[in-house]
Structure 1
Amino acid sequence: MIRLRLYTTLGCHLCEQLEALLATLCAERYRLERVEISEDEGLVAHYGVRIPVLADETGEELDRGMEPERLAGWLASRGWLDETAWQQLQQQLSGERSPEVAKRAAKGATLRGGRRYLG
Structure 2
Amino acid sequence: MITLTLYTTLGCHLCSQLEAILRTLCAEDYRLERVEISEDDALVERYGVRIPVLVADDGAELDRGFEVERLVGWLEARGWLNDAEWRKLQRSLEGPEPGHARPAEMRNGRRYLG
- Pairwise TM-score range, normalised by the shorter structure: 0.7 to 0.9
Fraction of identical pairs, as percent: 67
Counterpart for residue 63 of structure 2: 63
Q: TM-score scaled by structure 2?
A: 0.83
Counterpart for residue 6 of structure 2: 6
Using the TM superposition, give the Cα deviation of residue 95 of structure 1 relative to its aligned residue in structure 2, in angstroms.
1.2
> Is 1:38 equivalent to 2:38 in the alignment?
yes
- Secondary structure of 2:80's aligned partner: coil
Q: Which runs of 5+ in 1 are unaligned?
A: 102-119
Q: Which runs of 5+ in 2 are unaligned?
A: 103-114
Take 2:67 and 2:92, find their aligned partners in 1: how far apart are those partners? 14
Give the alignment's Cα RMSD to 1 decimal.
Answer: 1.6
Take 1:47 and 1:59, find their aligned partners in 2: how far apart are those partners? 14
Flag the structure with larger Rg. Answer: 2
Using the TM superposition, give the Cα deviation of residue 91 of structure 1 relative to its aligned residue in structure 2, in angstroms.
0.8
Counterpart for residue 86 of structure 1: 86
Output one character per residue of 1:65-85: Cα deviation in whole Å (capped at 9) or x when no partner. Answer: 001111011000000000000
Take 1:91 and 1:51, find their aligned partners in 2: how far apart are those partners? 27
Take 2:63 and 2:90, find their aligned partners in 1: how far apart are those partners? 20
Q: TM-score scaled by structure 1?
A: 0.80
Counterpart for residue 106 of structure 2: none
Counterpart for residue 53 of structure 1: 53
- Secondary structure of 1:92's aligned partner: helix
Q: How many residue pairs align between the two structures?
A: 99
Counterpart for residue 19 of structure 1: 19
